[in-house]
């Protein structure tokens, strides 16, 4: 499995509006091929920063999403205006998974 982690710093005071936009656009984008799970997490030390973490079946599914018109034409245009300029995407390979009840 692959993990895609995006760190972003938002314009000051825009987290609530960003979170609402994120929920709306992710719901509207529907089920994406190969996407297992997705999390939006807010930094507790910096309320204007956070991470979007997604879990993918494999690298091909993740890369296909990154090249998709869904991301380029629907998601990014609605979310990018919230960012202050700090934005980084990291790709990771899942090496160990533990789940606790």
pTM of the model: 0.91
Which stretches within 13-99 are classed as H helix? 15-29, 59-66, 69, 76-79
Residue range 2-93 in CATH 2.40.30.10: no
In the chain, domain spans: 2-93
Average pLDDT for the chain: 95
Measuring CA to CA, which residue among 83, 20, 91, 85 is closest to residue 62? 91
pLDDT digits (tens, 9 = 90+) for 46-58: 999 999 999 999 9
Which residues lie below 8 Å from residue 88, measured CB to CB, with a gap of 6+? Answer: 6, 7, 8
Q: What is the mean pLDDT of residues 59-75?
A: 96
């Amino acid at each position: 499995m692959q993990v895609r982690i995006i760190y972003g710093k938002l314009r000051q005071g825009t987290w609530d509006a960003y979170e609402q936009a994120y929920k709306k656009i992710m719901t509207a984008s529907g089920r994406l091929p190969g996407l297992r799970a997705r999390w939006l997490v807010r930094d507790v030390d910096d309320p204007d920063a956070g991470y979007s973490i997604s879990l993918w079946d494999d690298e091909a599914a993740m890369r296909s999403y990154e090249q998709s018109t869904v991301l380029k034409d629907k998601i990014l245009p609605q979310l990018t205006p919230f960012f202050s300029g700090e934005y980084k995407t990291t790709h990771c390979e899942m090496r160990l998974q533990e789940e606790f009840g």
